[in-house]
């Protein structure tokens, strides 16, 4: 059995299928990990969702910020310029796809492989155990009867830059931002939600995985996406970044994950090469 991980698909359905053909992906034996941002900006979000859902247990996806945005739209929030989600929202099986999406995790951990998958990042001060607990609470909200209210809050909130106290109603929204929006932060967990492509001008801020003390590092390696501006991050001992920006004209990247944090890049396909 092989475990593959693919970067941000964002509706690039044909490159995804070509990647899987290149490695002879067999859903009866192999497993595909998707780092989130399954939809939006690309040409075919609908067939992407249908295909991944149909893979069943052969596919493990975590939610990204664009996937949460689709849930926000389904809950009645407004769209953004550049969205390409109308086909999903107008589909006959939209409700079924939204239900499937709502039940995806925001964190997936495989203890045997010693790999954890999130869309964007982890808090430097969170242990893996703490990250799992935060993720579980978010997942319970999305799967519960009040999921639309939670998604509405995600759409309109100004995310706190550091973790609020337990009684603060924005504490869970902050955790959702950490999992799906993280790029730069300080070692003590002050997050910069504004810097997207350039470098941070604050000397205390570094990429979330670059700080000297990372509490989660004792238990896992992390595969993630979200950061197309950085491209493939395969030169770090404890993380693998797979968002190589297929939707922006660059390749979609597939890696094979192995035990002990080992990996190898096995295939790349561009949207215009399909």
* Domain containing residue 184: 3-273
Alpha helices in the chain (DSSP H): 13-22, 45-54, 65-74, 86-89, 94-102, 128-143, 147-156, 171-181
Q: Over 90: is that where the pLDDT of 201 sits? A: no
Over residues 78-97, the mean pLDDT reads 96
Q: Over 80: is that where the pLDDT of 212 sits? A: yes
Phi/psi region, residue 162 (left: phi>0; alpha: psi -120 to 50; beta: rest), is beta
Over residues 175-182, the mean pLDDT reads 98
Over residues 155-177, the mean pLDDT reads 95
CA 199 – CA 127 distance, rounded (Å) = 26
Radius of gyration of the chain (CA): 17
- CATH of residue 261's domain is 3.60.21.10
pLDDT per residue as tens digits for the range 121-159: 999 999 999 999 999 999 999 999 999 999 999 999 999
Over residues 219-246, the mean pLDDT reads 97
pLDDT per residue as tens digits for the range 18-71: 999 999 999 999 999 999 999 999 999 999 999 999 999 999 999 999 999 999
**What is the pLDDT, as a whole number, of residue 200?**
84
3-state secondary structure of 270: strand
Instruction: Share the mean pLDDT of the chain.
Output: 96
Number of folded domains in the chain?
1
- Residue 196 pLDDT grade (very low, low, confident, very high; cuts 50, 70, 90): confident
* Beta carbons within 10 angstroms of residue 111's beta carbon: 10
Over residues 237-250, the mean pLDDT reads 96
CA 209 – CA 103 distance, rounded (Å) = 27
Over residues 212-229, the mean pLDDT reads 96
């Amino acid at each position: 059995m092989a475990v593959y991980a693919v970067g941000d698909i964002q509706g690039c359905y044909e490159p995804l299928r070509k990647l899987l053909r290149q490695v002879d992906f067999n859903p009866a034996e192999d497993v595909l990990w998707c780092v989130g941002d399954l939809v939006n900006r690309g040409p075919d979000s609908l067939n992407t969702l249908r295909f991944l859902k149909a893979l069943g247990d052969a596919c493990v996806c975590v939610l990204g910020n664009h996937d949460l945005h689709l849930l926000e739209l389904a809950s009645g929030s407004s769209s953004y310029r550049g969205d390409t989600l109308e086909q999903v929202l107008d589909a006959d099986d939209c409700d079924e796809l939204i239900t499937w999406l709502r039940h995806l995790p925001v964190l997936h951990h495989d203890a045997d492989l010693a790999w954890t998958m999130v869309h964007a990042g982890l808090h430097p001060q969170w242990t893996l155990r703490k990250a799992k607990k935060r993720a579980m609470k978010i997942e319970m909200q999305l799967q519960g009867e009040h999921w639309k209210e939670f998604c509405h809050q995600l759409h309109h909130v100004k995310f706190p830059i550091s973790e609020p106290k337990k009684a603060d109603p924005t504490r869970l929204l902050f955790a959702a931002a950490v999992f799906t929006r993280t790029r730069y932060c300080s070692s003590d967990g002050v997050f910069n939600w504004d810097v997207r492509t350039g470098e941070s001008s604050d000397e205390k801020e570094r990429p979330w995985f670059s700080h000297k003390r990372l509490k989660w590092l004792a238990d896992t390696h992390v595969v993630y996406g979200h950061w197309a501006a950085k491209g493939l991050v395969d030169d770090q001992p404890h993380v693998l970044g797979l968002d190589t920006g297929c939707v922006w004209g660059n390749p979609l990247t597939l890696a094979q994950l192995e035990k002990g944090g080992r990996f190898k890049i096995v295939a790349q396909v561009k949207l215009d090469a399909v």
